[in-house]
Amino acid sequence: MSRVVITGVGLTSPNGNNLSEFRKALLTNKSGITHEEIRHVGKVAAGVCDFDEFKYQKKKTRKRGTRAGSTAIYCAHEAVIDSGLDFNEADKSRMGVYLGITEHGNVETEQEIHDLYNDHEMDVTLWSHHHNPRTVSNAPAGEVALNMKITGPAYTIGAACAGGNMGLIQAYQMLMLGDVDFALAGGISESVRTFGIFAAFDSQGALGKHDNPELASRPLDENRNGIVISEGGAIFTLERLEDAEKRGAKIYGEITGYHTNSDATDFVLPNSERQIQCMQAALKRAKLDFKDIDLVNMHATGTPSGDTIECEAVSSVFGYSENTYINCTKGFIGHTMGAAGALELAGNLPSFEDGVIHPCKKIENLDPKCSLKNLVNGEPLKKEVNNILNNSFGMLGINSALIVSKYIK
């Protein structure tokens, strides 16, 4: 039976535009959250990426496309370069693009509406003819395929904030089925550039706020008050092991287990029982005991109910393990929505090589309901890491757990 491995990583985050920068930021307590002025909302904490949109595409193409698409194009090229694949000689018909998303096209659509009301005197004949391709559901993956001339399957997986994990799971399945030989997979988000998502979370009382923006996202802290909205992307190159070995590729890790399920209980409130079932099913698929997991990266959004429910689930599955350590990432970068699972996995992948677990951003006042055993808080922890479980959950009750293991021949 084939094995699927990760051979390349391309990313942009609020605190780094490649894996090396991102990892260093996580190990040195560097936040990427700043105060930004958002139209109609005002000054809010947000995580904004600063990558070169025109490094791999022309300005004319960017004008036709989307912020999500430009993020995906940047990450995809960076991942392919990192993989060492001779891309020009590769069979593009045997490549797949699978990107998890929460939303896309909103940035440009909001701008069109703004222009319609303010500059175009409600003359809809001036509405952009680029609107339709920008907003179709496959847009970010399609923009990657167009840019890189990939003729294999290219589509998105709408899975809310579980999207990053789901992109990887889809790619794994397609590689195992033999539908493709090489996959670009992960998650993308442009959320920070649209006012609607800020207004909606604010109306829920779930928008993270603080006079110091670096303290606005405080997962597991007793004084946390909500989500900090961020943008970003992380795309991995995935291959069957025999193909990666044949070309002498560097292997970051091997996908060994996964599971996804649905709460079927509420639009936004998570369900700890379903999260427990999801993690346990992923362990079963990987043929691992809970004590075999060295690191659990929590979804940990920074909302009072979300953090508490997930901590209950993680404690239920791993509470008796002395070997399993726990961290979370959103304190550094905020919530990158559809990119979250992929970015957070990327930040932990180097643990296989350097034997260090990055901490949660320092939690000053740990919520007693979130007092987990072996929580890595504030300072990196030296530890051999062989198996990582990555949690990623989303609205409408979608749950995902992905297990990546250290590659062993």
Could you confirm whether 49 is annotated as catalytic?
A: no
Instruction: Name residues whose C-beta falls within 8 Å of residue 302's C-beta, 6 or more positions apart in sequence.
Output: 208, 217, 218, 219, 221, 224, 225, 226, 227, 228, 330, 331, 335
Catalytic residue from among 75, 161, 328, 360: 161
- Helix (H), strand (E), coil (C) string for 334-350: CECHHHHHHHHHHHHCC
33, 213 contact by CB (below 8 A): yes
Per-position b or e across 12-36, b if 16+ CB within 10 A of its CB? bbbbbbbbeebbebbbebbbbbebb
Catalytic residue from among 77, 104, 259, 299: 299
Q: What is each CA distance from 345 to 249, 373, 399, in whole angstroms?
A: 20, 21, 16
Residue 386 DSSP one-character state: -
Q: What is each CA distance from 336 to 6, 68, 325, 362, in whole angstroms?
A: 21, 12, 23, 19
| Structural element, H or E, at residue 382 | strand 381-382
| Structural element, H or E, at residue 7 | strand 4-12
> Count of alpha carbons within 13 Å of 129, Cβ hemisphere only?
1
171, 152 contact by CB (below 8 A): no
| Structural element, H or E, at residue 332 | helix 330-333
Measured CA to CA, the distance from residue 163 to residue 186 in angstroms comes to 8
Measured CA to CA, the distance from residue 68 to residue 233 in angstroms comes to 9
Catalytic residue from among 259, 335, 358, 370: 335
Strand-pairing partners, residue 5, are 239, 254
Rounded-to-5 percentages of helix, strand, coil across the chain:
40, 25, 35
Could you confirm whether 161 is annotated as catalytic?
A: yes
Could you confirm whether 358 is annotated as catalytic?
A: no
- Residues annotated as part of the active site: 161, 299, 335
